[in-house]
């Protein structure tokens, strides 16, 4: 048995490794060892979630943002974005369409848009939860005060997605302007967890200045946070950002990391992200075969999809579009998995430690 296989077996058994061992696996490009890793991560996910694929209807409610993250296409300094925010009635209409299609989770994602104050958001949340009482509602609206998070939770929100982006403060500072900090981002995540949300975190793979050592820090941060969901996807440059000329993250690196995260956090809900589907036509399927179990098709009104361009060439058609769910179902069936009509909540997490 090779050294890699030994490490993979240990990770499969104990769900943790030492930093230098994780580093070795992250850098592994031995095809046989990677096949072995993926077979273990698939088994691990099947023990928790079988062959079910959970779908989430992603509604991109606004591309207005007060932040200026260096990597993001909808950062406030990009004056070439045609800004929009959906009305609450438009958002509810998206949910109605999604419900008909079989979605039982809606994700409201957007820039940090001051148009949606807490009163507006709470009303929207409670209206959606009243109309779709068998559905889960996920928010992904960035950094807010603990009081605001509490209000959204009390109004009925179930889950919150907030990628930590990078666990390392210096690296965080190279990706964001001074007014943002890794410390605050992490505090938001701990607040969300304490309030009772199912919390999702994650990071971009191959972001500028990222090193393998930094990725190890990300994995250990996730292990410590124990989120219910982990979203990772390749960094893809956007031509109107300071990182326009940077190199993007790779499919291979992202797949390896999905598999490692699956083994570190066996019960996590892990999406095969749009970014993964954008850099490779079979990216989503390969993400599932590496241990992911969630897909988030786009349920936004078609006329705004092109305006939510956080990176170049972001997919919003084909199997990425909610209305093409049959195409996605076929793709999943071909690789032996089935899309299910379910809220797809996280299963018990007490064994993950
Ligand atoms: N404003 C919310 C927030 O900060 O969490 C949600 C929207 S934000 C655009 C969603 C995610 O998009 C970020 O967490 C980031 O990881 C990802 N993202 C932004 N720009 C990207 C890029 N150029 N390539 C890949 N992912 C990107």
Q: pLDDT of 86-128, one tens digit each?
A: 999 999 999 999 999 999 999 999 999 999 999 999 999 999 9
Cα dist. 214→20, 171, 221, 226 in Å?
A: 12, 8, 10, 18
Is a pLDDT exceeding 80 seen at residue 323? Answer: no
Helix runs in the chain, H state only: 3-14, 19-26, 31-49, 88-101, 118-131, 146-155, 169-175, 182-195, 212-225, 251-264, 274-279, 283-289, 302-305, 325-334
What distance in Å separates the CA atoms of residue 291 and residue 38, rounded to the nearest whole number?
7
Distance CA 297, CA 57 (A): 6
> pTM of the predicted model, to two decimals?
0.97
Question: Residues, the chain, total?
Answer: 353
Query: Rounded distance, CA 195 to CA 165, Å?
Result: 21
Nearest one of 152, 183, 190 to 165, comparing CA atoms: 183
- Strand-by-strand arrangement of the 229-234 sheet: 57-62, 105-110, 136-140, 159-161, 198-205, 229-234
Q: What residue ranges line ligand 1, CB within 6 angstroms?
A: 71-72, 109, 111-112, 140-142, 162-163, 165, 204, 233, 235-236, 238, 275, 310-311
Q: Which residues contact 60 (CB under 8 A, 6 or more apart)?
A: 109, 110, 298, 300, 304, 305, 308
* pLDDT at residue 349 tops 90: no
Number of Cβ within a 10 Å radius of residue 19? 12
Strands 159-161 and 198-205: parallel
Residue from 60, 71, 206, 276 whose mutation best tests the ligand 1 pocket (most atoms within 8 A of CB): 71
Q: How many angstroms separate the alpha carbon of residue 89 from the centre of ligand 1?
A: 25
DSSP 298: B
Mean pLDDT of the chain: 95
- pLDDT tens digits, 247-305: 999 999 999 999 999 999 999 999 999 999 999 999 999 999 999 999 999 999 999 99
DSSP string, 79-126: TT----B--HHHHHHHHHHHHHHT--EEEEEE---TTS-HHHHHHHHH
Does residue 290 contact residue 259 with C-beta atoms inside 8 Å?
A: yes
| Token pair 């060892």: residue | 33
Band the pLDDT of 320: cuts 50, 70, 90: confident
Q: In this structure, which residue's CA is closest to atom 5 in ligand 1?
A: 142
Residue range 193-201: mean pLDDT, rounded: 98
Residue 322 has pLDDT above 80, yes or no: no
Mutation to probe ligand 1, out of 78, 182, 310 (largest number of atoms < 8 A from CB): 310
Separation of alpha carbons 122 and 153, rounded Å = 9
């Amino acid at each position: 048995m090779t050294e890699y296989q030994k490490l993979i077996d240990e990770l499969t058994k104990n769900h943790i490794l030492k930093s230098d061992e994780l580093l070795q696996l992250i850098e592994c490009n031995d095809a046989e060892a990677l096949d072995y890793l993926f077979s273990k991560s698939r088994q691990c996910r099947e023990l928790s979630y079988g062959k079910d694929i959970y779908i989430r209807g992603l509604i991109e409610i606004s591309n207005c943002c007060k932040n200026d993250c260096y990597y993001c296409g909808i950062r406030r300094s990009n004056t070439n974005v045609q800004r929009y925010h959906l009305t609450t009635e438009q958002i509810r209409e998206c949910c109605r369409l999604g419900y008909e299609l079989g979605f039982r989770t809606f994700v409201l994602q957007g820039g940090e848009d001051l148009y949606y104050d807490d009163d507006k958001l709470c009303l929207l949340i409670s209206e959606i939860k009243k109309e779709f009482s068998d559905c889960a509602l996920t928010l992904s609206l960035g950094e807010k005060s603990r009081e605001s998070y509490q209000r959204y939770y009390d109004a009925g929100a179930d889950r919150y997605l907030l990628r930590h982006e990078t666990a390392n403060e210096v690296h965080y500072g190279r990706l964001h302007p001074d007014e943002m900090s890794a410390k605050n981002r992490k505090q938001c995540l701990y607040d969300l967890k304490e309030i009772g949300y199912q919390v999702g975190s994650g990071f971009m793979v191959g972001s500028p200045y990222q090193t393998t050592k930094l990725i190890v820090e990300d994995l250990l941060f996730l292990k410590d946070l124990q989120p219910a969901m982990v979203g990772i996807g390749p960094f893809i440059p956007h031509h109107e950002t300071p990182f326009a000329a940077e190199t993007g993250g790779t499919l291979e690196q992202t797949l390896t990391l999905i598999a490692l995260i699956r083994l570190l956090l066996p019960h996590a809900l892990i999406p095969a992200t749009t970014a993964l589907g954008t850099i490779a036509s079979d990216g989503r399927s390969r993400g599932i075969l590496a241990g992911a179990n969630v897909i988030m098709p786009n349920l936004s009104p078609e006329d705004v999809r092109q305006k939510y361009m956080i990176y170049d060439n972001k997919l919003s058609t084909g199997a990425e579009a909610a209305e093409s769910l049959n195409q996605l179902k076929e793709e999943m069936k071909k690789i032996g998995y089935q899309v299910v009509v379910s809220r797809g909540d996280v299963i018990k997490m007490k064994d993950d430690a």
